[in-house]
Amino acid sequence: MQSRCLLHTCLPLMNKKTTKNDSNEEQLHMKIDNKQSKDYMMHHEIYSEKELNDIKITHKKFESWHDRVAFVAVRTMRFFFDTFTGYIHESSTSKSDKKIKTMTEQQWLRRFIFLESIAGVPGMVAGMSRHMKSLRTMKRDHGWIHTLLSEAENERMHLLTFLELRQPGY
């Protein structure tokens, strides 16, 4: 496989006439590249400006008590998260002419650091759980562990970025 990669990259640079064997090697390599590139690439939707502006914000109606419990749980967690991080919601329409208090850079950074320190946990726990299941059953997970751990790493990098901006200390 390595010789094919070198052959594929060097032939155009060397400007030599290729033999029939070299040409077959190059074509084989090109077929492998085309197949591999389609295997892992995700489809990305492209929306027009009109489609984006036509989106209406809606909320799902409660169908069962499970929906209501989930809604209340998320609202409760959001309330405590906003309280602990000192979040001040700025509404677009002010009912009075009072000066609206805005958050400072330090308050935003505190909120982001708090969020990012929690955000890496699900990916790490899920990746570790999948890893242990894979070891227990001795079956492959087809790359899902790597995806979850990459997500946890991504959140860790966000945390490090915000920590660099905040420069916390004693």
Q: pLDDT value at position 8?
A: 44
Instruction: Report the alpha-carbon distance of residue 38 to residue 120 in Å, rounded.
Output: 29
Task: Specify if 59 maps to a domain.
Answer: no
Task: Specify if 138 maps to a domain.
Answer: yes
> Looking at the 3D structure of the chain, how many domains does it have?
2
Q: Which domain range does residue 115 map to?
A: 103-170
Q: pLDDT value at position 100?
A: 73
Check if the beta carbon of residue 111 is closer than 8 Å to that of residue 89: no
Q: What is the H or E stretch that residue 38 is in?
A: helix 20-40
Task: Specify if 16 maps to a domain.
Answer: yes
Q: pLDDT value at position 32?
A: 47
Instruction: Report the alpha-carbon distance of residue 62 to residue 64 in Å, rounded.
Output: 6
Q: Is the pLDDT of residue 15 over 90?
A: no
To the question of pTM greater than 0.75 for the whole model, the response is: no
Digit-coded pLDDT (tens) for 79-126:
999 998 889 887 655 556 666 778 899 999 999 999 999 999 999 999
Q: pLDDT value at position 40?
A: 52
Q: How many helices (H) and strands (E) does the chain have?
A: 6, 0
Q: Is the pLDDT of residue 5 over 90?
A: no
Chain-wide mean pLDDT for the chain? 79
Task: Specify if 154 maps to a domain.
Answer: yes
Q: Residue 53's CB: how many other CB atoms inside 10 A?
A: 8
Of 29-38, 40-49, 84-93, 128-137, minimum mean pLDDT range: 29-38
Check if the beta carbon of residue 149 is closer than 8 Å to that of residue 127: yes
Task: Specify if 120 maps to a domain.
Answer: yes
